[in-house]
A and B are shown apart, each in its own frame.
Chain A
Amino acid sequence: MELVEKLEILGAAAKFDASCSSSGSDRKGTFGGIGSGHKSGICHSWSADGRCISLLKVLFTNYCINDCAYCINRRSNDVKRASFTVDELVQLTMNFYKRNYIEGLFLSSGIVKNADYTMERMLLVAKKLRTEENFNGYIHLKVIPGASETLIKEAGLYADRVSVNIELPSEKSLKLLTEKSRDSIIKPMGDICGDIVENREERKKTKKLPVFAPAGQTTQLIVGATPETDFKIVKLSEAFYKKFSMKRVYYSAFVPVNSDKRLPVISTPPLDREHRLYQADWLMRFYGFKADEIVTEDNPFLSDEVDPKAVWAMRNMQLFPLEVNSAAFEMILRVPGIGRQSAVRIVSARRNGSLDFDDLKRIGVVLKRARYFITCKGKMMADTDLAEKNIFEAMKSTSTRAGAPDHTIEQLSLF
Chain B
Amino acid sequence: MIFLYDGTFEGFLSAVFDAFLVKEEVEIAKKSAWQQQLFAETLEVETSPEKAERVASKLLETCGTRGFTAIVYIFLSEDEHCETYGFYLIKAALKHGKKSFSCFQDNKIASAMLMRKKVSREYDKMLGLLRFSELSNGIFYAPFEPDFNLLPLLVPHFYERLSGTRWMIHDLRRGIAVYHAGGKTENVEFADEMTSHLNLGMLIGKSGKEDAFVKMWKNYFRIIAIESRANPELQRRCMPRRYWKFLSEKN
Contacts and interface: CB of A to CB of B under 8 A. Distances in A.
Given A15-B224, A46-B238, A352-B100, A100 B131 contact: yes
Interface in B142-197: 142, 160-165, 183
Interface string B212-245: 1101110111111111111111110111000000
Interface residues on A, range: 35 or more
A353 B161 contact: no
A403 B231 contact: yes
A98 B132 contact: yes
Given A29-B160, A45-B128, A99-B131, A50 B223 contact: no
A56 interface: yes
A334 B207 CA distance: 55
Given A46-B234, A96-B213, A413 B124 contact: yes
A49 interface: yes
A357 B199 CA distance: 48
Contacts of B66: 415
A57 B225 CA distance: 12
A268 B228 contact: yes
Interface stretch (A32-40, A157-165, A214-222): A32-40
A106 to B, nearest CB: 11
B36 interface: no
Contacts of B132: 98-100
A345 B216 contact: no
B100 A413 contact: no
Contacts of A328: none
A253 B213 CA distance: 32
A8 B219 contact: yes
A348 interface: yes
Contacts of B161: 29, 34-36, 137
A101 B226 contact: no
Most buried by A among B103, B120, B215: B103
Contacts, number: 176
Nearest to A137: B161
B102 A345 contact: yes
Contacts of B160: 28-29, 36
B198 interface: no
A100 B221 contact: no
A38 B158 CA distance: 12
B137 to A, nearest CB: 15
A49 B231 CA distance: 5
B130 interface: yes
B37 interface: no
Given A46-B239, A48-B225, A99-B140, A411 B124 contact: yes
B26 interface: no
Given A7-B216, A362-B110, A134 B164 contact: yes
A45 B226 contact: no
A56 B66 CA distance: 32
Interface in A183-238: none
B162 A98 contact: yes
A408 B234 CA distance: 11
A362 B105 CA distance: 9
A255 B226 contact: yes
A4 B163 contact: no
A378 B101 CA distance: 26
Interface string B86-129: 00000000001001111111100010010011001000100111
A47 B232 CA distance: 8
Contact of A30 (B106, B124, B163, B235): B163
Nearest to A274: B229
A3 interface: yes
B230 to A, nearest CB: 6
B238 to A, nearest CB: 4
B237 to A, nearest CB: 7
B248 to A, nearest CB: 9
A319 B101 CA distance: 31
B163 A32 contact: yes
Contact of B230 (A49, A54, A134, A352): A49
Nearest to B130: A100
Contacts of B233: 50, 403
A271 B231 CA distance: 11
B102 A45 contact: no
B6 interface: no
A99 B217 contact: yes
Contacts of A34: 161-165
A49 B247 contact: no
B27 interface: no
Given A31-B183, A33-B164, A271-B229, A352 B128 contact: no
5 tightest Cβ-Cβ pairs between the two chains A and B: A50-B234, A50-B231, A29-B160, A403-B234, A47-B225
23 contacts: A3-B216, A11-B220, A11-B224, A32-B163, A42-B128, A46-B238, A48-B222, A49-B230, A50-B229, A51-B225, A98-B162, A101-B217, A255-B226, A345-B102, A349-B103, A351-B102, A359-B105, A403-B233, A405-B234, A405-B238, A411-B124, A415-B66, A415-B117
Interface of A: 3-4, 7-8, 11-12, 14-16, 28-36, 38, 42-54, 56-57, 92, 95-96, 98-101, 103, 134, 137, 253, 255, 268-269, 271, 345, 348-349, 351-353, 355, 359, 362-363, 403-405, 408, 411, 413, 415
Interface of B: 66, 70, 96, 99-106, 110, 113, 116-117, 120, 124, 127-134, 140, 142, 160-165, 183, 209, 212-213, 215-217, 219-235, 237-239, 247, 249
